[in-house]
Amino acid sequence: MKAWENELKRRKNATPSISYQENWEKMQESNIFPNDLLLTFWQSNVPGSNAPESMIVGAVQSVENMGRDVSKAEILLEQGFHYLSSDDFIALKALTSEIFYLLDNSPIIENHRFHHYLRPLKWEEISKFFPTNKFNLSNKIDIKDKIHGGWLGQLAGGSMGTKFEGYTHDALEKVFGEQLGKYVGEVSTLNDDVTYEIIFLKTCEEKKKDISSMDVAKNWISYIPFGWSAELMALDNIKRGIFPPDSGYFYNPFQEWIGAQMRCMVQGLLSPGDPYKAAKLAFIDSQVSHSGNGIYGGIHAAVLTSLAFVFNDPKKIIKESLQYIPQNTEFSRIVSDVIKYCQETSDWLNVLRKVEENFKTYNWIHLYPNTASVITSLWFGEGDFDKSMKIVSSFGYDVDCNAGEIGTILGVIYGQQNFPNYWSIPLNNNLETYLPFFQKIKISDLADWTYELVGII
């Protein structure tokens, strides 16, 4: 049926009523820019740690990191915080929209270092020099056991790290001391990070080898109730019919934050010993909400996880992963620099201090300082789960995401059979999410589901 036919049919079948009373109350109750969303942009606290965060400040910060002049937006920030302090939400809404407009139209800073690097966006360009070979895994390796270990590691690391995210090392050390790297308070697997991985598994189950970014995006908008930073912008784009790759960068100042790296370990679990496949699946997922270096971060997390099925030495895994980072990109330089920092000292704290200084202009949720945390923790953790968790929690930044990635990699190396009981038992074999179709599942069942999909995609 044509659209005009549909409309005409509805109108012809409609019968007016003399007794009908006007009903505008529902319209008055609706709000296209609710105050709680407005406050989320300007001043909020991280649910797990209570760390302060301002997404709008991070947006301005991030666009400047991408080589743009944000001076006009920075001026409006000061006005915005004045409106916020006086509860002038009407003025604040208009000003918030204006800031996003200014960011999307901010002039390029010609000599900014961001523009000195390549930034391929298409898979063919990104993967041009990636090795395509798949490693032959030993018959002695129990892939299912390693996948189970990977999930345990991810959920243990994420649960542990939630308490510490968003603070500096010095603040964490002062308050928590010897508790860093351990569960503090109630152990919960409920957070937003794993939600996207569950959606990817569901999409794989539905589409198998034909899975596309469009498929993932449609399941996002169907099932995910809310998002943060890049994912929030992507969901808003998808809602309006703006699909990948556009959804990852259109009016999305957070496109190079940690979100893709946070959630792309699952593609590695689905690709044991096949880092090229892991990278491609991660690309499919990452470009839903990210672009450029943000995508490369997602690919890197997947590749590290895939390589953990092959090598037991985290340093070896890190070095092998370099082949799957697009050359002459800013992300490749960042990773190389951090590895160099690690090689030049015997103390991870020295690396941390360099990271704090060299990445001070980046938000704590940005990809770069968090990649540095992951690499440093794996490097100096030397395959020891406890030691690695101590380092990553002490590093600060987005600890639950970083600990989840490290935990996945080490969990694969360990396998479920060798995974430390004092880390797994508190999880009670349960994963909780806020997905309507997947509110609770046994971790063992999640591992089984992932294993079943390995041969399908």
Q: Is 170 annotated as a binding residue?
A: no
Cα angle: 256, vertex 167, 364; to 5 degrees: 10
DSSP symbol at 22: P
Q: What is the rounded distance in angstroms from the CA atom of residue 92 to the CA atom of residue 443?
A: 44
The CA-atom distances, in angstroms, between 250 and each of 76, 237, 245 are: 21, 8, 9
Residue 236 assigned to a binding site:
no
- Nearest-angstrom CA–CA distance, 457 and 272: 12
- Tell me how far apart the alpha carbons of residues 310 and 150 are, in angstroms, rounded to a whole number: 14
Extract the tokens encoding 384.
Answer: 């020891």
3-class DSSP state for residue 339? helix
- Residue 85: burial class (beta carbons within 10 Å; 0-12, 13-18, 19+): exposed
What does DSSP assign to residue 20? Answer: P
Ligand-binding annotation for 88, yes or no, is: no
Q: Where are the alpha helices (DSSP H) in 211-329?
A: 213-223, 230-239, 246-249, 259-263, 265-269, 275-286, 293-307, 314-321
R_g of the chain, CA atoms, integer Å: 23
C-alpha to C-alpha distances, 262 to 17, 256, 319, nearest whole angstrom? 55, 12, 20
| Residues 6 or more apart whose Cβ sits within 8 Å of residue 402 | 157, 161, 370, 373, 374, 377, 392, 395
**Residue indicated by tokens 């910060």:** 61
Q: Dihedral through CA 295, CA 306, CA 312, CA 386, nearest 10?
A: 60
Q: Which residue numbers belong to the known binding site for Mg(2+)?
A: 192-193, 398, 400
Q: Which residue numbers belong to the known binding site?
A: 192-193, 398, 400
